[in-house]
Structure 1
Amino acid sequence: MAFAELLDQVGSQGRFQVLQTVALVAPIMWVTMHNMLDNFSGAVPSHRCWVPLLDNSTAQASVPGTLSPEALLTISIPPGPNQEPHRCRRFRHPQWQLLDPNAMSTNWSKAATEPCMDGWVYDRSTFTSTIVTQWDLVCDSQGLKPMAQSIYMAGILVGAAMCGYTSDRWLAESARWLLITGRLARGLRELQRVADINRKRAAGEALTTEVLLSAMQEELGVGQAPASVGDLLRTPRLRHRTYPSVLCWFAIGFTFYGLALDLQALGSNIFLLQVLIGVVDIPAKTGTLLLLDRLGRRPTQSASLVLAGLCILANTVVPREMEALRSALAVLGLGGVGAAFTCVTIYSGELFPTVLRMTAVGLGQMAARGGAILGPLTRMLAVYSPLIPLLVYGAVPVLTGLASLLLPETRSLPLPDTIQDLQRPAVKKAAQGTQGHPVLKSTWF
């Protein structure tokens, strides 16, 4: 009898698993909301320099005659890159000659302008107050916003590392892991607790140390030689799986948080974009689960990353005036990233043996957090060209998707328990499963 049969006896899909899932989902939902909150609390409204003729009633009273606000804006603020009022510069002196209808052909030098020496005026029609308007995180200080987002992501990474041990106090330990590492008494108690919660107390009471030793004889023998993170890099077969897998995790974190934390760059209506991203994410991840069983893990992983990257790259050639198309491509790109995340979560667990599975997945999640830290910082390259961040966000998933083709296919193959299992031919491993199409069962317990 193997561990999978023990798990079936105490309940592999019952109340205990449901409670564990709820305990994990509840805090994750709160973290996700905090991650996306900066799109609204840190929104950048339209803004221009503060100038006396527009924003000081005393200065306006000194102007002879009556001029409209549009005329005062023309003589006070130079046009920006899109022929809109410049957001970061103002005329050093009022340019009265621009009131001439033929003045559009007049050239003015940079010497006639200056930075916003007296602050900014913000459009508060949509957002009455944000951290940007409160601390003037615009123009020369606009890089502070992505830097703050990056620091926030770094805090999540550090917090996950520091609080990981704390979570063991209220989340159940993996019974299989406890047994493999030789802690039979604790493993037995965990299995009996699972049986009790799943209302299979009789099956739990029938479990004894002798039964566990008989069922886990091979795994306990392997458990005497503990594996470490170094094995992921020293062993050739593991190394060839580790590098592409970690790269996939990194690309997902880098691309998603680089784009999702700056929805204003993808469209003007960030409320609609946020809703669309959530709506698309559900069928994208659900469809991925279906494709994993039909197309396989490797092609699904590669296709989702490449599709996401191509959608993002397409936005570099779409004119900004075609806002609906740009928003649609952005939503599809983020949907592809969500699909890639679903795939890599399942795929990574199947690529590595039981003795290193959580270590490898943890390494991948750290890589994703590292990507989430670098993602917002990449937006600072927009000072050289607004297309550079999109080019980087699109190129990384495309190249990573191609690199993921180096990974072996794991569909319908039994999960490896030991490093030695990876040395065996895949055909032989498949033959050890059920005939025809083997069914995998992956569980935390």
Structure 2
Amino acid sequence: MADFGEILETIGDFGLFQKLLLFALCFPNLIVPFQLSSLVFNHADTNHHCNTDWILQVGPNLTKEEQLNLTLPRLPDGSFSPCEMYVPVVWDLSAIREYGLNETTTCTDGWVHNDTIYEATIVTDFDLVCGNTNLFRGAQTIFLAGVLVGAVLFGPFSESFGRKRATQIPMVLMLIFTVVTGLSPNFYVYLASQFIVGVSLGGFRINSIILATEWIGVAQRSYAACLSQVLAALGQVVFLAVVYYIRDWRMDQFIMAGPLAFVVIYIWFIPESARWLLVRGRTTDAKEVIQKAAAINKRTVPDSLVEKVLNEKPIEREGIKILFASRVLRKYFLTITFAWCALNLAYYSLSLNVGKFGLDIFLNQLVFGASEIPVHFLCMWSLETVGRKASLMGALIVGGSLCLLTLAVPQSNYIAIAALATCGRFLMNGAGSVCNVYIQELFPTSIRQTATGLGSTAARAASMLSPVVNMLEIYHFTIPTLVFGSLALASGITAFLLPETRRTELPGSTEEAEGTRQPKMTNPGPGDCEDINTTKL
């Protein structure tokens, strides 16, 4: 679709139409991070112990401290055991005090949660402690599995039914099941609703970026991915403010639903991708939306130019087969997917461990969220200045090295570890923005969504593994960091195999994507001659 670039130049490749569309598609990213951040706060552990109110039947006037001293064993560090209690007896209080209790058992009457930070979390509401401790890790995995399924489902859906529908339907699902999550009567309903929220998140994120990208010219193409990430980072900070003042997880879910309802209302008025319409042979619809875009941008588009593109033979729908049949496209796909998987594993492993860096969980989250805002502006500059390839390699190699460097710092030095982890996460997030831009420029229109969907699916699978990787710390605290840090470093090195795509038109055919036919250059800048030679591998 190189000729579509000519139409974009004529109607305005970043006019009012594109800016309104970009805002409409990026604004939900201010809310979407609430879902991921809620995994950290809604699942927060508590200072719990077994419920031993049985002793109050023989000693109703016991103080809380006396009750715990008589009924709970102590750990070697002197604290009360959170998961064991003394076996209840039918003695009177004086006998219990004189002889003491020695036989222990697991908690038989539930738990008492003494957390002073939160009013309610899923840990306190569903007793996800002791033998059920890993269930909330499972809940994180279920959510991330939903994100993976969303990428799988809405990738082919977007190719068949359009980018527009593939962004609208996920937002409706997210609104409905965010409310259902807040109303969950038990843990299993919570898991099911969170899975569907994950599905909707995975579907929306990838398709909204593609829809915006296909309407924007080459000079501002990175805006769609980077600005959505900026708002996502800002969303983490906004959510932190919400959860700081309202520390009830159910109420936080209902607060999330408010702005989602606003998005669901306006999302039905966004336009379809003209590129997709042309690929599908829907020339009448494509002409209508092109003219609408020109009118909003206060431009006129010559009928001859429109007819030239509309009369062009629709590109063959090659599908997934060509992606793996082409040696060049296969190499690109495997390389960019490896990078996407590695950075997602590192990013989510660090994100879900935000409370374990020794500092206050709210302070850690504030640092993590605020630090991500400038990284995406830096990304936009880097993508257009040094290019896609150097940006991706630099972010992954330096970020992976910083993660590994946390292992060389004494574990008691919380500030240094938090600083290194924040910088590593900072760069992984930036690498994610680069991948979102890069993968769309590597593949032709007919398989762009398929390649992006498959790559996103693999990346979501990696993020789904992050809670499992974090659980490896039970064997040694260094294992999780060694795993995701080494993979990030390796993927940064292998990214050398990718071509540079800066300031080139989106490829419309397999030949253009493979570099056997040079994509059209628009508004070339300094150093673009070098980019042309790099593209032809």
| TM-score bucket (shorter structure) | 0.7 to 0.9
Q: 1:233 aligns with which of 292, 301, 324?
A: 324
Which residue of the other structure, out of 407, 414, 424, is the alignment partner of 1:333? 424
Q: For residues 382-437 of structure 1, what are the alpha-carbon distances to aligned partners after superposition, in whole Å with 9 as ceiling and x for unaligned?
A: 333333333323233222222222222223555433211244469x6688984854
Letter in 2 for 1:32: P
Contact 1:38–1:261 (CA under 8 A) maintained in structure 2? yes
| Correspondence 1:214 to 2:205 | no
- Tell me, yes or no, if the aligned pair for 1:232 and 1:360 is still in contact at 8 Å: yes
Q: Residue 386 of structure 1 aligns to a residue in which SS? A: coil
State whether residues 50 and 119 of structure 1, in contact with CA within 8 Å, keep that contact through their aligned partners in structure 2.
yes
Q: Cα–Cα, structure 1 residues 281 and 73, in superposed 2: closer, same or farther, change >3 Å?
A: farther
Pick from 331, 341, 345 the counterpart of residue 254 of structure 1.
345
Counterpart for residue 107 of structure 1: none
Distance 1:433-1:332 versus aligned 2 partners, 3 A rule = closer
| 2:236 equivalent to 1:145 | no
Per the TM alignment, residue 147 of structure 1 is displaced from its structure 2 partner at its CA by 0.8
Question: What TM-score, normalized by structure 1, do the two folds share?
Answer: 0.79
Structure 2 Cα separation of the partners of residues 251 and 85 of structure 1? 40
**CA displacement, residues 119-139 of structure 1 (integer Å, 9 cap, x when unaligned):** 444332212321112222123
| Cα distance between partner residues in 1 of 2:447 and 2:52 | 63
Q: Select the residue among 384, 393, 396 that pairs with 1:305.
A: 396
Counterpart of 1:97? Answer: none
The equivalent of 1:399 in structure 2 is: 490
Whether 1:190 aligns to 2:289 is yes
Partner in structure 2 of residue 78 of structure 1: 75
| Number of corresponding residues | 409
Query: Following the alignment from structure 1 to structure 2, what is the Cα–Cα distance between the partners of residues 186 and 301?
Result: 37
Q: Which amino acid aligns with 2:140?
A: Q
Secondary structure of the 2:76 match is coil
Distance 1:269 1:73 in 2: 32
Output the CA distance in 2 between the equivalents of 1:431 and 1:309: 34
Structure 2 vs 1, CA of residues 245 and 84 (structure 1 numbering), >3 Å: closer, same or farther?
A: farther
Compared CA separation, residues 167 and 351, structure 1 to 2 (3 A): closer
Query: Corresponding residue for 2:273?
Result: 174
Q: SS of 1:44's equivalent?
A: coil
Q: Which residue in 1 is equivalent to 2:14?
A: 13
C-alpha distance in 2 between matches for 1:291 and 1:344: 13
The secondary structure found in structure 1 opposite 2:46 is: coil
Q: Give, in whole Å, the separation in 2 of the partners of 1:62 and 1:305.
A: 61
> Which deviates more, 179-188 or 327-336?
179-188
Deviation at 1:192, TM superposition (A): 0.8
The Cα shift of 1:362 comes to: 2.3
- Give the Å deviation of 1:292: 2.4
Output the CA distance in 2 between the equivalents of 1:131 and 1:74: 26
* Aligned match for 1:420, one of 491, 511, 534: 511
**CA distance in structure 2 between the partners assigned to 1:321 and 1:73 by the alignment:** 34
Cα gap change, 1:91 to 1:79, in 2 (>3 Å): farther
Residue of structure 2 in register with 1:130 after alignment: 121
Q: Is the 8 A contact 1:48 1:122 kept in 2?
A: yes
**Mapped contact 1:308–1:336 kept (Cα < 8 A):** yes
- Partner of residue 263, structure 1: 354
Question: TM-score, normalised to structure 2's length?
Answer: 0.67
Greater mean deviation of Cα atoms: 407-416 or 157-166: 157-166
The equivalent of 1:100 in structure 2 is none
User: How far did residue 189 of structure 1 move?
Assistant: 0.7
- Structure 1 residues 85, 327: CA separation in 2 closer, same or farther (over 3 Å shift)? farther
CA contact (8 A) 1:172 1:190 kept: yes
2:31 maps to 30
Amino acid at match of 1:271: F
Evaluate the alpha carbon distance shift between residue 62 and residue 115 of structure 1 in structure 2; reply closer, same or farther with a 3 A threshold: same
Distance 1:422 1:8, change over 3 A: closer
For residue 198 of structure 1, what is the amino acid of its counterpart? Answer: N
- RMSD of equivalent CA atoms: 3.6
- Name the residue aligned to 2:363: 272
- Give me the identity figure in percent: 30
Any idea what SS the aligned residue of 2:407 has? coil
Cα distance, 1:363–1:8 mapped onto 2, change above 3 Å: same
**Counterpart Cα distance in 1 of 2:64 and 2:450:** 69
Contact 2:72 2:84 in 1 (8 A): no
1:102 counterpart residue number = none
Asked whether the 8 Å contact 1:430–1:438 carries over to 2, the reply is no
Structure 2 letter corresponding to 1:3: F
Query: In the alignment, is residue 390 of structure 1 matched against residue 481 of structure 2?
Result: yes
The C-alpha deviation readout for 1:329-385, integer Å capped at 9, x for no partner, is: 221121111111111112112222333323222222222222222222333333333
Structure-2 change in CA distance of 1:260 and 1:355 (3 Å): same
**1:44 Cα deviation (Å)?**
0.8
Distance of 1:394 and 1:311 partners within structure 2: 8
Whole-angstrom CA distance in 1 between matches of 2:24 and 2:464: 27
| Closer/same/farther in 2, CA of residues 10 and 432 from structure 1, 3 Å limit | closer
Q: Distance in 2 between matches of 1:185 and 1:280?
A: 46
| Distance (whole Å) between structure 2 residues aligned to residue 31 and residue 432 of structure 1 | 34
Q: How does 1:277-288 map to 2 (within 5 A)?
A: 277-288=368-379
Deviations 1:196-237 (A, max 9, x none): 22233xx15x43xx53342466xx34x342221221111000
| Partner residue in 2 for 1:443 | none
Q: For structure 1, list consecutive stretches of 5 or more residues without a partner in the other structure.
A: 94-110, 441-445
The amino acid that maps onto 2:73 is: S
2:445 is aligned with 1:354: yes
In 2, Cα distance between equivalents of 1:310 and 1:243: 22
Q: Take 1:229 and 1:139, find their aligned partners in 2: how far apart are those partners?
A: 46
Shift of 1:68: 7.5
State the shift of 1:51 in Å: 5.6
Preserved CA contact (<8 Å) 1:416 1:422: yes
Query: Which structure has the larger Rg over C-alpha atoms?
Result: 1
Give me the whole-angstrom Cα distance separating, in 1, the residues matched to 2:436 and 2:498: 14
| Equivalent pair of 2:505/2:521 in contact (CA under 8 Å) | no
Which of residues 370, 382, 403 is equivalent to 1:291? 382
Question: CA contact under 8 A between 1:414 and 1:433: conserved in structure 2?
Answer: no
Aligned-partner residue type, residue 406 of structure 2: N
Cα distance per residue 1:22-50 (max 9 Å; x no partner):
22123232221121112112111233445
Relative distance call for 1:92 and 1:336 in structure 2 (3 A) is: farther
1:131-151 deviation line (CA, Å, top 9, x unaligned): 112222123211111111121
Q: CA deviation at 1:266?
A: 2.7
